[in-house]
Amino acid sequence: MSDQIASFDLGPAWRRALLIAPVVVAAACVWFAARWCLGGELALWVPEVEGMSRASMAAAAARLAPDDPQAHFTLARLAEMSLLPDELPAAVAGYERAAALSPNDYRLWVELGRARSAAGDAEGAERAHRRAVELAPNYPGPRWHLGNLLLRQGRIEEAFAELRRAGDADPATYRPQVFNMAWGAFGGDVGRLRELGGDSAAARAALADYLLGRGRLDDALALWREFEGAGLTEEQSAVGAKLRKTLADARRFHDALSVERVLRPVPGAGGLPEIERVTNGGFEEAVGPPGRHLFEWQVTPAEGAQINLDVGSPRGGARSLRVLFESPGTLDFKNVSQLVAVRPSSRYRLEYFVRTDGLKSTSTLRTVVADAADEYHPLASSDPLPVGASDGWRQVALEFATGPRTEAVTINVRREPCAEAVCPIFGRVWYDDFNLQRTGGAADPRAGRRDGDSGRAR
């Protein structure tokens, strides 16, 4: 059988064209899509490339994808990064083209506003920034850039209206910067800073923190006192703790006490800390970790000594403080103390109870009272505890006088320095019922000391 060749008659040329047209259209779509994707990918990769090839890659991306805003944005950013004045018009043109291609992207309008401002076009920059604010009214960035532009133009009130809203939208990032700018613009006027921050508790806490950094301690304290009686957030409590420490470092212990009373709105069984009162003097409340509060017992761990609250045979109440020593080597013990606010130029009597059991050492414990501003010169000191076991609870009383500028004293249970290189200590000691009483005022600061004694009570 002879080979047969099949043939098809496609008819007139217009029919053939109809069959070919979809193929051509599909090929064109594939081509343009490929160009767009390649241009977009090049635009995204340009920032990762080093050297002069960045510009050529960005230009290629713009040619391949002329309607891709990312390509024009990249070209504009490269022109801006050159820092050459001649490149600013190219940067502005690139941002304008990108914003025109993606008119609802507020970020492109922000960049256009920045570029126009750098090029000296203040009016155009304002229009761009206001458009960004219209597109993203609740975002802090657009308002921040608009506020900065207005501030550079001397339009103070308009500027801070925008800057304040930026601070409200993102307090952690922008509010301290707003305060810093307002500090310079208004010459440190705290009232104006207060207006800018607003009346919210968070804004007042942030302003108090800022004023602390500026060294305006009294202004920060005045703001803090507005929190009295109100519940505190974690952020506000952190500012309060910082204020309390700053006041204590400045030896303003009475003010530090007032801050602590706000930080501790729910008193324990022993109540809030007060002036001329040992907090938790009978150890009826739990003793918190060191540094949590300022005017309470500070008990730190010690190697060779166990310190805890003991419910066995307290002198009064349900608990006492027990220290169990098991140290075969030298132990420098200064691990139980409390800061107590007092009045200047006054006489005091500190009473407490102590008992011992099996105490063995050549150097035992003393209780020392010192001015909190000068702890190296005690106001009064007890005799060292006797070794062995005591016959029940023994009362100890220390009398001392505060100086004309004394606002607080420290009560410190500590061990006397050892004369020997190796100085072991063993045994148990209990303390209970610390009580402070004022016995007189307008005292001689040196009262309460024996002649020739640097700190031992009468």
447 occurs within a structural domain: no
* pLDDT reading at 322 higher than 60: yes
* Confidence (pLDDT) at 198: 77
- Residues 263-285 have a mean pLDDT of 84
**What are the beta bridge partners of residue 348?**
400, 438
37 occurs within a structural domain: yes
Last residue of a domain, one of 244, 266, 288: 266
* pLDDT reading at 447 higher than 70: no
- Residues 95-124 have a mean pLDDT of 91
288 occurs within a structural domain: no
Domain of residue 355, CATH code: 2.60.120.260
The answer on 27 and 78 residing in a single domain is: yes
184 occurs within a structural domain: no
Of 8-12, 142-146, 229-233, 409-413, give the lowest mean pLDDT range: 8-12
Distance CA 452, CA 456 (A): 10
Last residue of a domain, one of 136, 156, 172: 136
Last residue of a domain, one of 266, 284, 317: 266
pLDDT band at 368 (very low <50, low <70, confident <90, very high): very high
436 occurs within a structural domain: yes
The answer on 348 and 233 residing in a single domain is: no
183 occurs within a structural domain: no
CB atoms within 10 A of CB 316: 14
Report the predicted TM-score, pTM, of the whole model to 2 decimal places.
0.74
Of 76-80, 151-155, 199-203, 275-279, give the lowest mean pLDDT range: 76-80
Please return the burial class of 134, using the count of CB atoms within 10 Å of its CB with bins 0-12, 13-18 and 19+. Answer: exposed
Mean pLDDT value across the chain = 82
59 occurs within a structural domain: yes
Split into its structural domains, the chain has a count of: 3
pLDDT band at 59 (very low <50, low <70, confident <90, very high): low
* pLDDT reading at 2 higher than 60: no
The answer on 435 and 305 residing in a single domain is: yes
Domain of residue 232, CATH code: 1.25.40
Q: Order the strands of the 305-310 sheet from edge to edge.
A: 305-310, 320-327, 425-441, 346-360, 394-401
- Classified as helix, coil or strand, 360 is strand
The answer on 219 and 131 residing in a single domain is: no
Of 121-135, 192-206, 213-227, 248-262, give the lowest mean pLDDT range: 192-206
* Confidence (pLDDT) at 47: 47
17 occurs within a structural domain: no
* pLDDT reading at 91 higher than 60: yes
* pLDDT reading at 158 higher than 70: yes
Q: What does 191-210 look like in DSSP terms, one character per residue? A: HHHHHHH-SSHHHHHHHHHH
Distances (CA, A) of 385 to 360, 395, 413, 427: 10, 12, 11, 12
* pLDDT reading at 277 higher than 60: yes
Which residues span the domain enclosing 346? 297-441
Domain of residue 120, CATH code: 1.25.40.10
- Residues 138-155 have a mean pLDDT of 95
The answer on 344 and 243 residing in a single domain is: no
The answer on 428 and 320 residing in a single domain is: yes
The answer on 387 and 430 residing in a single domain is: yes
Closest CA to 203 of 161, 158, 235: 235
The answer on 430 and 311 residing in a single domain is: yes
* pLDDT reading at 393 higher than 60: yes
The tokens for 300 are 């730190």
* pLDDT reading at 316 higher than 80: yes
The answer on 372 and 424 residing in a single domain is: yes
* Confidence (pLDDT) at 457: 39
The answer on 304 and 261 residing in a single domain is: no
Provide the percentage of residues in the chain whose pLDDT is more than 70.
78
Closest CA to 309 of 434, 431, 435, 436: 431
The answer on 303 and 387 residing in a single domain is: yes
Closest CA to 345 of 446, 445, 448, 447: 445
Distance CA 411, CA 212 (A): 29
* Confidence (pLDDT) at 22: 54
The answer on 206 and 122 residing in a single domain is: no
pLDDT in tens, 182-215: 999 999 999 889 888 877 888 888 899 999 999 9
